[in-house]
Structure 1
Amino acid sequence: MKSVTRSLRVLEAVAQHQPVTVGELTKLFGLPKSTVQRTLVTLAEAGWLRANRKDTTRWEIGARVLAVRPAALQGSSLFAAAREPMVRLRDEVNETIHLSVPDALQGMVVVDRVDCDHAVRTFHTIGDTSPLHATAVGRAVLAHLPGRDVEELVTGGLERFSDTTPVDPDELRAELDQIRSDGYAVNRNQFRPDVCAVAAPVLDEDGAPLAAVAISMPDARYDAERVPTWGRLVADTAVEITQRRMGA
């Protein structure tokens, strides 16, 4: 049990301080470096941790941890409220519909998906993560977060994923203003090549964003003239999810 407890403590520490080095964890716990290293490797082999992409000497939370949250949400009021409206939206537009929740400012996590019947379609694995600033679901949520959170994200730097990723702080702020005005966010190849989406925020009773629901399609089926219609449909779906969750 001692080793299990230690592993859980290391996992929690990585989640809190990521990306973190073996040396930093060694100082934090006062354990031998070899013990910490062995624990990290064991957790990585099980999928709970992974090496940071930019600096492999640093450790961060792995996909397995991120997948636990969606599984836990399946019994939640949000999950229950969202499923039926998502299916109806899929039937209306015949494109993939997905629901994502924010993981603080770390990004968005896909928690549910309803597939369309096109042979060529977008695909989002449950537990997949994406950055707030580069995606429609992320910006839909970001537009309804307090200004201090937006500034914290901007201060940390905005990573570029494509030529169209909004990495200029003023450009991002202007887009967030537009999202609040329109009621939906649009992503055309700003995160993944040839993947587009239109998303709207699911808000709680105080107006804080709990999640975002999105229509996702390949770039080949993206039609700028249809964006206002898609935006209205996904915004209406988000409102319905909010109302269903609150029992309205």
Structure 2
Amino acid sequence: MGLSTVVRSLRVLEAVAEHQPVSVGELSKIFGLSESTMRRTLRALKVSGWLRADPLDATRWEIGAWVFGVRPTALRNTRLFPAARELMIRLRDAPDETVLLSVPDALNDMVVVDRVDCGHAVRPFHAIGDTSRQYATAPGRAVLAHLPVPEADGLVTGGLDDRGAPIATDAAELRAELRHIRDRGYAVDQNRHRPGVCAVAAPVLDHDGVPLAAVSVSVPEYRFGPVRLDALGQLVKDTGARITARHCN
């Protein structure tokens, strides 16, 4: 192929993201390179944190955690952060609960890119860069529910696995829930993704109405209940709409 080392490494990184978990042999065929050359490239990307061996099969490769750590820093230079930050603080102050901003990535995961902590001594903790399967959380479902139907359906059909999520999900049930979320304007996770933690999330949309992020309130289960749900849902929905308006202006 005649690729320089740097260009080859970037191309390999892109290929792993597209085909993961992927073997050395499969990557060698994609690039027309020897397996020994491919192993050297993979090892270099592993040492730098960009790739890692699949926890379920050490002969296959997948994207590493460094990808998710870099993304929040890069996003701080976009219009999303200044549009969202002040409104996230206002949302935090209303119920005094932790507020998160999460974005979808190319791997059909959600990545936490910003957080405003509440004043309670007991509160859920979400590290910047934390990832979760899109269908498994309130922010992810808020995003899925507002994608164009064919795109959302493709993700639901092709993305329901247990990697990174402690719950199994039925595709038909998820489609019905996504329709309900779209009608209501926000998604709810009641102690489903993380034990003892509940969340309410709403989408942030771009100029074309496509979701580019989700804003959410994360609450310990003992401070969450049906009476509080409606109020939190409306607050989160309004905040998502306000961030959308600021981002699009």
TM-score normalised by length of structure 2: 0.91
My pick for the range that moved more, 96-105 or 19-28, is 96-105
Q: Name the residue aligned to 2:150.
A: 148
- Partner SS state of residue 72, structure 2: helix
CA distance in 2 between counterparts of 1:192 and 1:12 reads 30
Other-structure match for 1:61? 63
Percent identity for Structure 1 against Structure 2: 62
Partner of 1:73: 75
Paired position in structure 1 for 2:243 = 241
Give the deviation of 1:117 after TM superposition.
Answer: 1.9
For the residue of structure 2 that corresponds to 1:175, the secondary structure is helix
Structure 2 residue 53 is matched with structure 1 residue 47: no
Asked if the contact 2:108–2:159 (Cα under 8 Å) also holds between the matched residues in 1, the reply is no
Q: How far is the alpha carbon of 1:166 from its aligned partner? A: 6.3
- The residue number in structure 1 matching 2:215 is 213
Aligned-pair RMSD on alpha carbons?
1.8
Q: Structure 2 CA distance, aligned partners of 1:154 and 1:208?
A: 17
Q: Given the two structures, how large is their TM-score scaled by the length of structure 1?
A: 0.92
CA deviation map 1:151-178 (0-9, x unaligned): 222322523545xx46112211111111
2:190 and 2:125 mapped to 1: Cα distance? 16
> 1:136-160: CA deviations, max 9, x gaps?
0001010111222222223225235
Query: In 2, distance between residues paired with 1:166 and 1:20?
Result: 23
Secondary structure of the structure 1 residue equivalent to 2:81: helix
Q: Residue 91 of structure 1 corresponds to which residue in structure 2?
A: 93
Provide the C-alpha distance between the structure 1 equivalents of 2:179 and 2:30, rounded to a whole number of angstroms.
Answer: 42
Does residue 184 of the first structure (1) align with residue 186 of the second (2)?
Answer: yes
**Aligned counterpart for 2:140 among listed residues 138, 141, 162:** 138
CA displacement at 1:105 relative to structure 2: 5.8
1:10 aligns with 2:39: no
Superposed displacement of residue 35, structure 1: 2.1
Note closer, same or farther for the CA distance 1:236–1:194 as it changes in structure 2 (3 Å cut).
same
1:144 alignment partner AA: H
Q: What is the CA-CA distance between 1:55 and the residue it aligns to? A: 2.6
Q: Deviations over 1:16-53 (max 9, x none)?
A: 22221111111122222122112212211221111223
* Alpha-carbon distance in 1 for matches of 2:101, 2:5: 36
Distance 1:38 1:240 in 2: 48
Number of aligned residue pairs: 245
The CA distance in 2 between the partners of 1:156 and 1:124, in whole Å, is: 27
Unaligned runs of 5+ in 2: none
Given that 1:215 and 1:234 are in contact with CA atoms closer than 8 Å, whether structure 2 keeps it comes out as: yes
Could you list the per-position Cα deviations for residues 163-222 of structure 1 after superposition, in whole angstroms to 9, with x for gaps in the alignment? xx4611221111111111211100122222222110000112221111100000222222
In 2 relative to 1, CA 154–28 (structure 1 residues): closer, same or farther, beyond 3 Å? same
C-alpha spacing 1:157/1:203, structure 2 compared with 1 (3 Å): closer
- Structure 1 window deviating more from structure 2 (47-56 vs 108-117): it is 47-56
In the TM superposition, what is the alpha-carbon distance from 1:7 to its structure 2 partner? Answer: 2.0
Letter of the structure 1 residue corresponding to residue 176 of structure 2 = A
- Secondary structure, counterpart of 2:118 in structure 1: coil
| Counterparts of 1:118 and 1:18, CA distance in 2 | 40
> How many angstroms apart in 1 are the aligned matches of 2:235 and 2:116?
15
Question: Aligned letter for 1:9?
Answer: R
Structure 1, unpaired ranges of 5+: none
